[in-house]
Amino acid sequence: MKIIVFVKQVPDSTAIVSIENGQVSWGDAPLIINPWDEIAVEAALLQREEVEGEVIVVSMGPESAKEALKHALAMGCNQAILIGDESLKNTDSQVVAQVLAAVVKKVGEVDLAVFGKQSIDGEAGVVAAQVARLLKWPMLSMVSAVKKIEPGKTIQVERVVEVGRQVVEARLPVVMNVGKEFAEPRYPSFMGIRKASKAEIPIWTLADLGIAPILSKVKWLDLTAPPQPEVNTEIISGSSPEEIANKLVEKILAEKIL
Amino acid sequence: MLSTAEKIIFFLASLATIYATWKAIDRLVRIIGRGTGQLDWGLARKRLWSVLGKMVILKPTFNFRVGVSLAHLLIAWGFMYYMLVNLGDVLQGYIPGFRFLGDGLIGGIYRLGADILTVTLLVSLIILLFRRFILKPSDLTTRKTTLLHPKARSGILRDSAIVGVFVILHVGSRFLGESFTIAREGKDVWQPFATALSTLWVGWSGLEFAQHVAFWMALGLIMLFIVYFPYSKHIHIFFSALNFLLKPERRSIGELTKIDFDDESLEQFGASQIDQLSKIQLMDAYACIMCFRCQDVCPAYNTGKLLSPAALEINKRYFFNEEGTKFANGESSHQSLIEFAIPLEAVWACTSCGACVDICPVNNEPMRDILDIRRSLVLMDNQFPTQFQTAFRGMERTKNPWGVPPSERMNWAKGLDVPTIEKNPHPDILWWVGCAPATDVQAQKTARAFAKILKMAGVNYAVLGQAEQCTGDSARRAGKEDLFFELALGNVEILNEVKPKRIVTTCPHCLHTLKNEYPAYGGNYEVIHHSQLINELQAQGKLKANPAAAKEKITYHDPCYLTRHNDIAHEPRSVLESANVEIVEMDRKKEKTFCCGAGGGQAWKEEEHGDERVSANRFREVQASGADSLAVGCPFCMMMMVDAAKDANSPIKIRDIAEIVLENIESQA
Amino acid sequence: MSNKVWVYIDHFKGELLPASLETITAGQKLAEKLNSKLTALVFGHGIENLAKQVIQHGVDELLAGDSDGLGAYQPEPYTSLISGLAKDMQPEVILFPATSSGRELAAMTAIDLESGVITDAVGLEIEDGWVTVMRPAYGGKVLAKVQCKIKPQIIVLRSHIFAPSQPDSSRSGAITNIKVDLGDESQLSKLLEYIPSGGGVSLSDANVIVSGGRGVSNNANLVAPAGLDDKDAEIWRAQQGFNLLTELANTLNGAVGASRAAVDAGFISYEHQVGQTGKIVSPNLYIACGLSGSIQHLAGVRTSKLIIAINNDPDSPILTFSKYGVVGDLFEIVPALTEAFRKHLAM
């Protein structure tokens, strides 16, 4: 069974982010593999353990994205490919989707394409569904577990939806994205890291994929970095527990996180 | 006095003994030769005199069990003296009328020595055999749950019995022999005890025959015993000396070996099989006297964990005894160390406190074996307690095991005007703050107190600020050596640019790593503990203590990495005394300190299954001391003791030395 | 007025999902600015009453796809239906709710219609006849103004930003039943089973976690039943305390967590332990009760969006990490909090 998993390299979530020359800048904060994509890699590796096959990890990005690919190789992926092209800077989701769909076609005979739920920088979470639509493959989102997989035939998964969970069966090949519930990503072994650091990772350009540069349809007009509020603890007090509770609940609801 | 026939037989027997012994030694040498690395005989030459000196009063045995060690010393003296005695007796046997060392003063003193030491040896040996076989103390064996070679439990007793019986018979028959000779030839004023005994058989007709019997008993047994030696723990008499002579030079008991990850040819990291340990580690198994002192002081064993450092060495030894021939011939052991020497849970229970290394009278280092096994588990098998992942990821990504990013590293210093290296590029001393004050509230109090002290004393210092990265000690002790390698190289690069004249730190783990581990990575720094700096400042009159403050009863918990690993016990105490406190000491103090339980990566994981927490055990001792307050000198000890106090619902105040000193200074209003 | 502004309505078992109501409000604002009617898309089986409800919530028109084959949500046929309708009627804007279906339908529709998709909208404006969307990125550290100058403009909202629309039974509007032609796509996947949520939320998934520490046993007013020794009495008291926390958690559809000290003391089992040696969690709301907040515990919760602490010790470290804190007795505050939440959320 051939499984392809897509990863993105992003700045660490603790990075201090600022706007420089209209671009987002994270200074020298470390770049890491997108945590959701790490789960996707784990999901792909677990399927390979169930059914014999290979896992190909792909990333679209600059040279530094090779680090994310090496992390995935160290976790146990068989092969890595970097998609790099000058025209692919600051693209919107449908450009990415078209490129990744072309990758799936070029790799050929792929049974399963796995994505993480979203990236922690762009946070759109739409590329997976768009790749599925372009390939005309079924889309299975928010997968929390793979219950059964019959290569060449069907896959049965559990999905998390707002109102509970669903068990859905779909015809292979499928595109799926996975959430936190799927699994804890394995820690890359030292021997894996060592092997991965020596790996040669091929770079495919748009020409290699046989597609012409694609224009973005969504434009970012303006960027601001609102100042992060300092955590100054506010102690809520009152004359009775009920009063305190009411004040606190109002503050919590005002934060709009529920 | 031997007949010709006897001389021939004795000569032939000696040849046979030499042959058998040579084979046994050859086997032993080839066993040890299976280990990695090389033995540095140059060190042995350098240390010869000091080791010979150690052998005079066997100082390392007196770390513990003083009475028993005294008895052992008398036995050892007797045994060593008997090398001369046996030589003298053989010569006297072969050369008729020959009196070894003559009849004059020298001969007399020699015989007096033999006489006295014979008796002290016999008495001491009987006492020790009584202790082992009649009293059966628990500190000469290990719990039933400890992984111990199936033949070891009875094997150790049998070995002791054989050795005990042999020595009694050997020495005893020689003593009897002397008494027979005296009975025949007349009183010897230089052998009072033998003479006293001889009165029993003056005039007995069988004396000459008895003399021969005594000779053959004494020396015949020696020949048998020499062949038995290599299989007995008694061989420690040679291997303990070799251990002291050949141990590599270390800056501290905790300084581990460097693995050069830039060396692409390395295939094996750490040790999972016995032949992946170094030669010196294999020698430990031969030096081990199976006295269980290391187990006695092990914080994990004492709190019911599966770990027993003694069992580890004993299991190695029994492997050599039972399967050593095949091993010597180059065959691999069919079991990994985890399977026969020390179980997995025990490996992860170690707090790397070093007590086992410090206490061992024959210079064994079981802790190093455990940490080497950890390296193999982590680097080769990727097998380690899952909870370490968070600490590893933290050190990798944010250079802080708690995951706190560099941008928040200086938050503790808000409002305190702490100069960073950018503001003060050439300070007199660099303060290495460490990761704990970046996050833990207690450690922040310590850091703030120390910052105030430095300001008060007008010290020209700086901190690295956001550029400071974890020293990587936790990664190294947990076996994640590759992470440590990266952190070490990174830190050394930064520090070598900064070129600090001296470094002071509030964390003994940082102190140990910067001072003892980093030299192997190109960083040589003079590093002191904050209590040492405070001590200096007080001596220079830059800090005014308040002598009139109300005396508090304080007990001080020596941090393992400060005291045992780095010999710093005096300054914390003198600093505390200057703060006008009454120090009540615990029994387990200074190098005998009992670990708080956080070392060896334990702070990052749940403790292994046992009877109680290591910290709870130590805290009970704190409570028993009768102190109202506990002083600590390490942020990890602080964390563990604070938690233990909460669990015990104890009102005992826990503060760092810096806080206590500051409180005292500020109390003079 | 043209029908330029469309909203997709997500529903389940005859109930409108709250995110859909927020979408209607957003749609109303845009429709007003664009001088347009507001049209809703509702797909399913037996959705007559649902359609009427949607009208009452304030849409002008409704396109209903009512068919047996649409009874269970499937991304591919639903997408084809939406894009088919859009190709025919050429809306200018299609808004999707902040649900998993909403997001993927928007994404796939954008591919069909060769347009872009904008997600996580927290603000919508019109500039020169085009919609500009404010959306956060990089974990909220950046705010971007984005636009897609291709029609239809496909936008997914972020939840809890727009107010949910209110029903008004006096409202009316046209409901058009559209032709539903499903084709092969509906065979691509099949819903086998639905498992309703309930029976406790797991810690790793929870959006809200209420945690207890050692202080949870500290209720002097509580007298343990006779016959329990000191240790068991403490555990009994702690369990009563955790019951209070569980009620609060249930009110907020959250999970119950605990500090290592509480787990070690036997108050609650290890699966609830939060912290460096337990679970690392990232809920939107973390309420720490009777928990001092050791560094290992905080390492497990630092990425929570909002941390609240209730502790009777004003010096406990957890308070310095909380945005809001109450220095008081959790046995009084927690039940009061549960009550206050119940009242506010019911409104």
In CATH, what number is assigned to the domain containing residue A98? 3.40.50.620
Q: Which residues of B touch A193 (CB under 8 A)?
A: 482
Write down the pLDDT at residue C270: 80
Which chain B residues contact residue C292 at CB under 8 A?
646
Window 2-41 of A, Cβ < 8 Å to B: 12, 14-16, 29-30, 32
Q: Using the predicted structure, report yes or no on whether residue A256 has a pLDDT greater than 90.
A: no
Task: Write the ipTM.
Answer: 0.91
Per-residue model confidence (pLDDT) at position A184: 85
Best C326, C327, C339 residue to mutate vs chain A (most A CBs within 10 Å): C326
Number of structural domains in chain B: 3
For residue range C97-136, list pLDDT tens digits in order. Answer: 989 899 999 999 999 999 999 999 999 999 999 999 999 8
pLDDT per position as a tens digit, A170-219: 999 999 999 877 888 999 999 999 999 999 999 999 999 999 999 999 99
Mean pLDDT of the region C252-280 = 86
Chain A residues with beta carbon closer than 8 angstroms to that of C137: 24, 121-123
Structural domain spans, chain C: 2-187, 208-346
Torsion angle of the four alpha carbons C55, C57, C59, C62, in this order, in degrees rounded to the nearest 10? -30
Q: Which residues contact B438 (CB under 8 A, 6 or more apart)?
A: B400, B402, B404, B408, B409, B410, B411, B412
How far away is chain A from the Cα of B656, in angstroms, using its nearest Cα? 27
Taking CA–CA distances from C142, the nearest residue in chain A reads A225
Same domain, B560 and B620: yes
Q: Give A-chain residues touching C340 at CB under 8 angstroms.
A: 242, 245-246, 248-249
Alpha-carbon span A25 to A17, nearest angstrom = 6
A218 domain residue, yes or no: no
State the Cα angle at C189 between C186 and C195, rounded to 5°.
120
Task: Say whether A12 and B397 touch across the interface (CB within 8 A).
Answer: yes
The more confident residue out of B112 and C316 is B112
Would you call A191 an interface residue with chain B, using a CB distance cutoff of 8 Å?
yes
The answer to the question of residue B298 being in a domain is no
Nearest 5°: phi and psi at C93?
-135, 135
Crossing angle of helices B66-94 and B207-228, in 10° steps, is 120
Q: What is the mean pLDDT of residues C270-279?
A: 82
Domain of residue B622, residue span = 545-666
Judge if B533 and B549 occupy the same domain: no
Which of C200 and A13 is assigned the larger pLDDT? A13
Give the predicted TM-score (pTM) of the model. 0.87
Q: Can you give the pLDDT at residue B658?
A: 96
Distance from CA of B343 to the nearest CA of A (A): 22
**Domain residues for A32?**
2-209
Tell me, what's the pLDDT at C228?
A: 82
In the chain, the amino acid numbered B429 is I
* pLDDT, position C199: 54
CA gap B243, A43 in Å, rounded:
52
Instruction: Tell me whether residue B50 is exposed, middle or buried, using C-beta atoms within 10 angstroms of its C-beta: 0 to 12, 13 to 18, 19 or more.
Output: exposed
**pLDDT band with cut points at 50, 70 and 90 for residue C3:** low
Average pLDDT, chain A: 91
Give me the total of CB pairs closer than 8 Å, taking one residue from chain A and one from chain C: 245
Helix, coil or strand: residue B139: helix
- Whether residue B382 and residue A189 make contact (CB cut-off 8 A), yes or no, is yes
Contact at 8 Å (CB) between B599 and B299?
Answer: no
Residues B428 and B458 in one domain: yes
Instruction: Tell whether A237 is covered by a domain.
Output: no
B482 shares its domain with B609: no
Neighbour-count burial for B491-516, b at 16+ CB within 10 Å, e otherwise = bbeebeebebeebbbbbbbbbbbbbb
On whether residue B327 sits in a domain, the answer given is: no
C111 close contact with A: CB closer than 8 A? yes
Task: State the pairing for strand pair B503-505/B527-529.
Answer: parallel
Whether residue A39 lies inside any domain: the answer is yes
Element (H, E) at A222: strand A218-224
DSSP code of residue B333? P
Q: Say yes or no for a CB contact (<8 Å) between C276 and B387.
A: yes
Residue C70 sits at φ, ψ, to 5 deg, of -100, 5
Q: Is the same domain home to B425 and B510?
A: yes
On whether residue A71 sits in a domain, the answer given is yes
B520 in the same domain as B611: no
Looking at the complex, report in whole angstroms how far the Cα of residue B386 sits from the nearest Cα belonging to chain A: 9
* Assigned domain for A223 exists: no
CB-based contact B379 A32, cutoff 8 Å: no
B605 touches chain C (CB under 8 A): yes
Predicted pLDDT at B453: 96
Residue A44 is predicted with a pLDDT of: 96
**Is residue A22 very low, low, confident or very high in pLDDT (cuts 50, 70, 90)?**
confident
Instruction: Name which of C280, C317, C320 is nearest B390 (Cβ-Cβ).
Output: C280
- DSSP for C192-241 reads EEEEE--S---TTT-SEEEEE-GGGG--TT--PPTT--HHHHHHHHHHHH
**Residues in chain C within 8 Å Cβ distance of B606:** 277
CATH code at C2-187: 3.40.50.620
Average pLDDT over residues A117-143: 93
Q: Is A22 inside a domain boundary? A: yes
Give the list of residues 6+ apart from residue B356 with CB closer than 8 angstroms, or none.
B294, B295, B297, B298, B309, B364, B365, B366, B367
CATH number at residue B617: 3.40.50
Look at residue A248 and tell me if it is in a domain.
Answer: no
Closest-CA distance of chain B to residue C269, Å: 14
Average pLDDT for C332-347? 88
Provide, as residue numbers in chain A, all residues whose Cβ is less than 8 Å from the Cβ of C194.
Answer: 164-167
* Within-domain flag for B219: yes
pLDDT of C335 reads: 93
* Residue of chain C nearest A142, judged by CA positions: C100
Q: Where does residue C142 fall: left (phi above 0), alpha (psi -120 to 50 degrees), or beta otherwise? A: beta
State mean pLDDT over C26-50: 93
Question: Does some domain include residue B375?
Answer: no
Kindly report, residue by residue over C169-224, the tens digit of the pLDDT.
899 899 999 999 888 888 889 999 888 865 556 787 788 999 999 889 888 778 88
Kindly state whether A232 is in contact with chain B, defined as any CB-CB distance less than 8 angstroms: no
The edge-to-edge listing of strands for the beta sheet with C174-177 is C117-121, C153-157, C93-96, C2-8, C36-44, C61-66, C174-177
Is B431 part of any domain? yes
Cα C92 to chain centroid distance, Å, stands at 27
Q: Which residues contact A157 (CB under 8 A, 6 or more apart)?
A: A140, A143, A144, A145, A146, A147, A167, A168, A169, A170, A176
User: Minimal Cα distance from C112: which residue of A?
Assistant: A133
pLDDT band at A229 (very low <50, low <70, confident <90, very high): low
Q: Is C174 on the interface with A (CB under 8 A)?
A: no
Segments of chain B with pLDDT less than 70: 669
- The residue in chain B having the minimum alpha-carbon distance to the alpha carbon of residue C265 is B647
Q: Which of A94-98, B219-223, C273-277, C285-289 has the lowest mean pLDDT?
A: C273-277
SS3 assignment, position C20:
helix
Is the minimum CB–CB distance between C142 and chain A shorter than 8 Å? yes
Classify residue A233: in a domain, yes or no.
Answer: no
Helix (H) or strand (E) holding B504: strand B503-505
CB contact under 8 A, B397 and A30: yes
Q: Domain C208-346 belongs to what architecture?
A: 3-Layer(aba) Sandwich (3.40)
Mean pLDDT, residues C161-174 taken together? 89
pLDDT of A108 above 80: yes
Which of C265, C292, C295 lies closest to B439 in CB terms? C295
Is C61's Cβ below 8 Å from some Cβ in A? no
- At which of B537, B570, B601 does a domain end? B537
pLDDT band of residue A90 (cuts 50, 70, 90) is confident
* Spatial distance between the Cα atoms of A218 and C117, rounded to a whole number of angstroms: 7
CB nearest to B405's CB, from A14, A187, A189: A14
User: Smallest Cβ distance to B441: which of C264, C280, C317?
Assistant: C317
Domain count, chain A: 1
The Cα–Cα gap between C268 and C306 comes to 24
Q: Do A245 and C149 touch (CB under 8 A)?
A: no
How sure is the predictor about A89, in pLDDT bands with cuts at 50, 70 and 90? confident
CA distance linking residue A35 with residue C272, whole number of Å: 23
Spatial distance between the Cα atoms of A41 and A43, rounded to a whole number of angstroms: 5
Q: Test B646 with C261 for CB contact under 8 angstroms.
A: yes
The predicted pLDDT at position A181 comes to: 79
Q: Where is the domain boundary, B537, B553, B584?
A: B537
In the prediction, which pLDDT does A228 show?
Answer: 67
Point out the residue among C261, C264, C299 whose CB comes nearest to the CB of B390. C299
